Chain A
Amino acid sequence: MSDPQQPRLTPIDEWENEAEAMLDDVEYDTDLGVQMARDAIRVSNGELTDAEFHEKYHEAVLEEFGEDERPTKPEGFEDD
């Protein structure tokens, strides 16, 4: 695999391996990062709304990071 530190265009079929490699050794949840990355692209694609994305990961993000300051928070959404 090429160095994930350096800019390149990743073929879609290689992306997930590369994303996992990027999150290796990080002190946060690798699986959560990969899942959120995948769904963030789905938001960009219009397959998922910002609000759905926010709600789907809100609890996991809170648990992992102790805060959830993502800009996808829908109006009126109440933090736990």
Chain B
Amino acid sequence: MTKHGLVIDQERCIGCQACAVSCKQENNVPMGQFWNRVLTEGGEKMDTPSGGYPEDGGSGSLDMQYQPTACQHCENAPCVKVCPVNATYTRDDGIVEIDYDKCIGCRYCMAACPYNARVFNWDEPEHMPEEGTGDVEARPQGVVEKCTFCSHRVDEGLDPACVVNCPADARIFGDLDDESSTVSKYIDKYETDQLLEDRGTDPNTYYISGEMSPGRPQTSDKMESELDDVSPWSDGDDDVPSKEADSAGGESSGSSHSVEGGEIPYATPAKSGGDD
């Protein structure tokens, strides 16, 4: 079986909101709504740190972490259990989706979601431009909507838009049931958390904190499972780097970035944006 999951490396996240913007664009998310946001942990309000500025030559204690948040695609999803019409359901591959034709807008799923990941179309959705954006049909007024892990892309063998467009390679998507996938290896190797673990929802989204991972290894839009070779050189058209490319590349070769054989690929760590 395949169980899709997402690993977000909070040490790599620079809080640029590219994931939020690309999600909105790709999924035709209405004006005023977000499926995917970068929250902050620190002060009492968004984008405010805890602690204080340095005083009298001291080092200060300002601290803030970026907390990208969207639907966690929980294994034990409470939203699925409360839906009286089975509009919210879990696909065989673990993605939690909404059948917008079935949704009656009761919002019970919103109340049950501990992550506040769902939004409701109170009014007729407005889009800019009017004809909408991306490859997903707009949802009507009166339904709940949320992140789908870009299931329309996943079904085509492509990574979610937020994953492909993260400039810090902080988002890694893959098959949690495949021990050799990068997501499984990172969860095994790095310290990871799931949000609100005490609620038992068992999200398929994991957050790395502490030690920075090498991040998403491939540059291709394709999912890792679609590639013969996962490397920073792979654009998905030719999965295995050519000898010419290797020799032109100089000091590195594709094989040193492969995740074959239990290796963790190396990439230059991004500057941490988590500690301000």
Contacts and interface: CB of A to CB of B under 8 A. Distances in A.
Query: Which 8 A-B residue pairs are closest in the complex by CB-CB distance?
Result: A40-B78, A37-B112, A45-B200, A19-B111, A69-B86, A44-B200, A37-B111, A44-B76
A15 B114 contact: yes
Nearest to B118: A7
B82 A10 contact: no
Given A5-B120, A7-B117, A65 B112 contact: no
B78 A37 contact: yes
Interface stretch (B47-55, B57-65, B101-109): B101-109
19 contacts: A4-B116, A5-B119, A7-B37, A7-B39, A9-B114, A9-B115, A9-B116, A23-B111, A28-B108, A40-B79, A40-B81, A43-B76, A43-B81, A61-B84, A65-B84, A65-B106, A67-B84, A69-B83, A71-B90
Given A36-B82, A44-B78, A10 B107 contact: no
B106 A41 contact: no
Contacts of A41: 78, 112, 114, 199-201
A53 B85 contact: no
Nearest to A4: B116
A71 B80 CA distance: 7
B89 interface: yes
Contacts of B16: none
A21 B26 CA distance: 30
A37 B201 CA distance: 13
A9 B76 CA distance: 18
Nearest to A6: B34
Contacts of B33: 5
Given A9-B67, A9-B196, A43-B78, A71 B112 contact: no
A37 to B, nearest CB: 4
A66 to B, nearest CB: 9
Given A33-B82, A37-B108, A70-B86, 8 more contacts: A7-B36, A7-B69, A8-B37, A18-B116, A19-B111, A28-B106, A45-B198, A50-B81
Interface in A58-80: 61, 64-65, 67-72
Contacts of B199: 41, 44-45
